[in-house]
Amino acid sequence: MKKLIILAFFVALVSGCAHPLNISPDIAAINQGSSVEKFDKNFSYYFSEDLEKEVTTPGGGGDSVRYRPYKELDMGIYKVFSDKFKNVEVLKKPGGNNNSDYLAEVTISTNSSSSSALTWPPTLFGVNITAEFFNLKSGLKEKIYVSGEGRAEFSEFKSNFNLSAKRASEDALKKLTTALSNLKMLANEVVIDSSTKKAPEVSKETRLRDLKRLFDGGLVDINIYNERQKIILQD
């Protein structure tokens, strides 16, 4: 009887755990390159929920996984928008910038599951991104929704527990890039591309200055600041 009690306690102890997971994508995997077309507009966006919000979803073996979807996808989303708009600014809340042509509210949802009863990392992961766009001049609204999926079996994720989540994030961000190109409200906007040599561009110095202003204002933390600085310098 005593052994059964000890065994039951051990099972309860090792099962039902919420393991830390990171769903951050590989930025290089969603890099559009220097020839990508950009809309000649100022764009701002904000997240509908707190950047630090932690989410728990199912893993394998009766366990679960926990992560911060907004914080871990922030850099990827910023990269996608920066590849599509001339000037991009992230806001802490709506209404913080009156100089933008377009504004978007971004919402992220996730799901996960596993076909394994013995390992905790998810074998299937889903990332859903909803972005509602507002033309601040005309008042027009348009919403896009993309769903990314990532799969990974034990033979793959045994050296990277985040693999299915990472693949789902990258899939969702690539689809977000495509969806942005198909936005109806942007159909008639001026596009800057590699063949438009005389189109005005925002200098790296200006973008770095704006980023520093966001950091000094407490709108981004040091990790996000360093990552965005790296993207700007490599652009």
pLDDT digits (tens, 9 = 90+) for 39-84: 889 999 999 999 999 999 998 888 999 999 999 999 999 999 999 9
Whether 69 and 53 have beta carbons less than 8 Å apart is answered as yes
146, 128 Cβ separation under 8 angstroms:
yes
Note down the domain range covering 208: 203-235
- Whether residues 217 and 101 share a domain: the answer is no
- Write a three-state SS string for 50-117: CCCCCEEEECCCCCEEEECHHHHHHHHHHHHHHHHEEEEEECCCCCCCCCCCEEEEEEEEEEEECCCC
Q: What pLDDT is recorded for position 234?
A: 76
Q: Are residues 150 and 220 in the same domain?
A: no
For residue 31, is it within any domain? yes
The overall average pLDDT reported for the chain is 82
Non-local (6+) Cβ contacts of 187 within 8 A are: none
pTM beyond 0.85 = no
Is residue 125 situated within a structural domain?
A: yes
What are the pLDDT digits (tens) for 8-51?
Answer: 333 444 446 889 999 999 988 887 654 467 888 999 999 999 99
196 with 165, same domain: the answer is: yes
Of 40-44, 76-80, 151-155, 231-235, which gets the smallest average pLDDT?
Answer: 231-235
Sign of CA dihedral 219, 221, 222, 225: negative
Span of 81-95, 96-110, 217-231 with lowest mean pLDDT: 217-231
CATH code at 73?
3.40.50
Tell whether 226 and 112 lie within a shared domain: no
Tell me the helix, strand and coil percentages in the chain, rounded to 5: 35, 25, 35
What's residue 118's pLDDT? 78
Angle, alpha carbons 175-23-233 (nearest 5°) = 75
69 with 25: CB under 8 angstroms? no
Asked if residue 6 has pLDDT above 50, the reply is no
Residue 57 within a domain: yes
Total number of domains constituting the chain = 2
Residues 222 and 214: their CA atoms lie apart, in Å, by: 11
CB 67 within 8 A of CB 217: no
Distance (Å, rounded) from C-alpha 71 to C-alpha 227?
A: 12
One domain, residues 141 and 229: no
Q: Are residues 195 and 223 in the same domain?
A: no
- Contacts of 224-231 with CB under 8 Å at 24 or more apart are 224/74, 224/75, 227/75, 228/75, 228/78, 231/27, 231/75, 231/78, 231/79, 231/82
Q: Among 19-33, 87-101, 183-197, name the one with the lowest average pLDDT.
A: 183-197
Share of the chain above pLDDT 70, in %: 80
Do 230 and 197 share a structural domain?
no
